[in-house]
Structure 1
Amino acid sequence: MRNSYATRAGVRAGQGQLTVGVEEEFALADPVTRKAVLVADAVVEAAGRLAGEGHVVGEMSLAQLETVTGVCSDAHELRAEVRRLRRCAARAAREAGCQLVASGTVLLGVPGPPPILDKPRDHAIAARFGLLVDQQCTNACHVHVGVPDLEEAVQVVNHLRPWMPLLLAMTANSPFCSGRDTGHASWRTMLWDRWPTATPPPYLRSVDHYEEVVAALVDSGAAVDPAMLYWSVRPSRHVPTVEIRVADVQLSIEDTVAYALLVRALVAAALTDLREGRPALPVEDTVLRAATWRAAHDGMSGQALTLPLPGPHRSVPAWQLTEALMGHIQEHLRKAGDFDTVRRWLTRLRRHGTGAAQQRAVYERTQRLADVVDAIALPEPPHADATPDRKHEAICEGTVQPT
């Protein structure tokens, strides 16, 4: 919920590849009951000593925390940052007697009603929005890409908005919530969409139009401040980036890194289209919202609307639209040296399914949500027997049983 990406985001923007950074939110669970535990304050304090100030922060619910990478220029730097912060946060969670869980929702127990973090802004949100704050422990993966010029950032949002449902389908990782299968691949999306500003962004004519929309939303009371603009993709209010907010938190380091690199290439493609005079497709808000629900429901196992493509909208298999996406961005992936990383991720995704499919696969084998929690909890190297990526892949294949 916070736009906390480091303020150095624009320093290297425009010099070679676009800069990129990631914020990951995780749930906290009791290692015995596997239910949500409200100990974020202790975990964040311990993690801050390990990771450095500002790199592990609290969120509104005391059953979650957020990791914040520095500004990264390439895949190697980003991977190292994501790995470092996951390890620090997992170690701090263990010291506080809990597990760090990579799921968009809480699988067992409930993280509310408050207490919330004791901060004036959080109290103001709770006072205004009441029951919306209850069970507000939704864990996303936010990707920031450096776009220093605000006018360009606004236009990049226009180019990206039709792709948001597909990005959500790829990253859906929250099928269970409070002890139940929700029937959706991303229940986080359904919970998050209850907020009045948690919508796809409108088609923005200019920076002035963008500022008018933001002011109207704040004046209406739907947001306590401009930072509470919870669009699936938005220009950052505090740092020179475009922030893509549509994804659930991912199971593994490689999932997160590959997804972030794909997003960076999509922003690079949008900038190219913009600078070469190719307009963004003005997809209707209601159609975009319907496509978002379909993606949250199906993940990659169903159909997707061809919103990013010219011509009448039609339903096609989600994987067919993914190939169109790769054709659209492959030049930028290759230029950055990221094509093989992203293609390997998509191959794994097709083989094992999304995080949602992987969670359900564990449950189908054991019929215990506690086992699902264990399967997707972050291990604390070097004590774990496998890296997070290898652990999750082995669990999905059924060759390693959750402990």
Structure 2
Amino acid sequence: MTYLTMGVEEEFVLVDDASRAPVDRAPEVIASAAPVLGKQVQNEFFNAQIETMTLPTASCRDLRDELVWLRSAIGAAARRARCHPVATGTPAVPPTQPLTITDNERYRRMAQRFASRFSTLDGLVCGCHVHVGTLDRELALALSRRMAPWLPVLQAITANSPFARRGDTGFASWRSVEYAKWPTVGPAPALDEPRYLAHVAELVRTGMLLDRRMVYWHARPSEHVPTLEIRIADSNADVDTVVILASLVRALATTLLVDEEVGKPMPRTPLRRLLLAHELAARYGLSGYGVDPCTGAVRPGAELVDRLVDRVLPTLEFTGDTARVLRQLRGIRVHGVGAARQRAVFRRQGRLSDVVDALARLTARG
């Protein structure tokens, strides 16, 4: 069995100490954190966001330790700038004024060309992306096809953005709705490497994309490291949710890599069924129904988590992650996914500021 490595990219929104609203202080926070973190902290599309990146590792314990260290370092830098990093898919409190775009050439061109795809008032979204490797592009594309039916289950587990525009959206992951406004967001098409290169080149040539880095499929070959990148999760304040996401992504990729290597036939899931599965995951998290990756039937979300665990259990045993994953999933069953926990905080006093404070504390605690 192949021992794949894991890496995580986490996006955070910077919220003001007093207003709890997003604030454009990323340049100041990054400059303060960079002497400690170097290139492991970077800017994002809005100046109210920052992103951290772990190094590749094969150990969940090491991954967790690094995530906590990164959060601690950016938290200290943010406090010096009178703000806090918050891990959530969408801000619970909207900005008090339009946000500004990060001042680099690529983001300026994106903002100009795709101005209709986002709003500077309520278009900020934060995701958590998992890389598994080492994989060449052809193998990453093959795995993206095999993993597609299972990704809505992971999306449901990590749903953490119920609030936007000062209200409850009715979704567990409103980030999924906002993010889908950008081009190419969605399930990866079935392409081998030559067709992938030709397809993406055509999208860039016709102006549909700015460059190959704008391929925003739920699972894509990374353009800067030899990995498969999974892009379906909201940012989560609970660091252990991030760790089990990475562990499950790695276990699923490893399990399906064996199927690919032996040439096991791959079930074909119609695109309309995949889109329904992602819509149900975004709306309900694990509190409603989802689409069974094996049969296509609509089943309770909690049952689909059990099916995923059963599918990857031999790999979890191989990597030594079984106890950690099962313990965290038990906690999610009891307390709900991140969206349910945000709503529980809001119900106590009816204040979105309390939601932001709870998220900030949990993000910092690691």
Classify the TM-score, shorter chain.
Answer: over 0.9
Cα drift, residue 125 of structure 1: 0.5
**1:109 aligned onto 2:87:** no
Deviations 1:310-351 (A, max 9, x none): x4x211001111111111100001100011111111101101
Distance of 1:111 and 1:173 partners within structure 2: 22
In structure 2, give the amino acid aligned to 1:108: V
Structure 1 counterpart of 2:286: 300
In the alignment, is the contact (CA less than 8 A) between 2:237 and 2:362 conserved in 1? no
In structure 1, give the amino acid aligned to 2:186: T
Distance of 1:220 and 1:141 partners within structure 2: 29
**1:131 aligned onto 2:131:** no
2:251 aligned residue (265, 277, 282): 265
Structure 2 counterpart of 1:253: 239
Question: Given the two structures, how large is their TM-score scaled by the length of structure 1?
Answer: 0.87
Which structure has more relative contact order (CA 8 Å, sep 6+)? It is 2
| Unmatched runs of 5 consecutive residues or more in structure 2 | none
Cα drift, residue 378 of structure 1: 4.2
Deviations 1:78-127 (A, max 9, x none): 11111110111111111110011111001112387452111110011011
Deviations 1:240-276 (A, max 9, x none): 1000010001122211111111110011011011112
Cα drift, residue 50 of structure 1: 2.5
Output aligned runs, 1:122-271, within 5 Å: 122-134=107-119, 135-204=122-191, 206-271=192-257
Alpha carbons of structure 1 residues 221 and 282: separation in structure 2 relative to 1, 3 Å:
farther
Structure 2 counterpart of 1:400: none
In the alignment, is the contact (CA less than 8 A) between 2:209 and 2:215 conserved in 1? yes
1:92 aligned residue (54, 72, 77): 77
Cα drift, residue 152 of structure 1: 1.2
3-state SS in 1 of match to 2:39: coil
1:363 aligned residue (343, 346, 354): 346
In the alignment, is the contact (CA less than 8 A) between 1:203 and 1:282 conserved in 2? no
Structure 2 counterpart of 1:76: 61
2:23 aligned residue (37, 40, 43): 37
Structure 2 counterpart of 1:393: none
In structure 2, give the amino acid aligned to 1:340: A
Backbone CA RMSD of aligned residues: 1.6
Distance of 1:83 and 1:163 partners within structure 2: 28
**1:59 aligned onto 2:80:** no
| Unmatched runs of 5 consecutive residues or more in structure 1 | 1-13, 382-386, 389-403
Distance of 1:139 and 1:111 partners within structure 2: 18
Structure 2 counterpart of 1:337: 320
Q: Percent identity?
A: 40
Structure 2 counterpart of 1:384: none
In the alignment, is the contact (CA less than 8 A) between 1:186 and 1:296 conserved in 2? yes
Structure 2 counterpart of 1:8: none
Distance of 1:130 and 1:350 partners within structure 2: 40
Question: Given the two structures, how large is their TM-score scaled by the length of structure 2?
Answer: 0.96
3-state SS in 2 of match to 1:360: helix
Distance of 2:348 and 2:327 partners within structure 1: 26
In the alignment, is the contact (CA less than 8 A) between 1:113 and 1:133 conserved in 2? no
Distance of 1:302 and 1:163 partners within structure 2: 16
Cα drift, residue 216 of structure 1: 2.4
In the alignment, is the contact (CA less than 8 A) between 1:233 and 1:245 conserved in 2? yes
In structure 2, give the amino acid aligned to 1:360: R
Cα drift, residue 293 of structure 1: 1.0
Q: Which consecutive segments of 4 or more residues in structure 1 shift more than 6 A?
A: none
Distance of 1:380 and 1:268 partners within structure 2: 29
In structure 2, give the amino acid aligned to 1:328: R
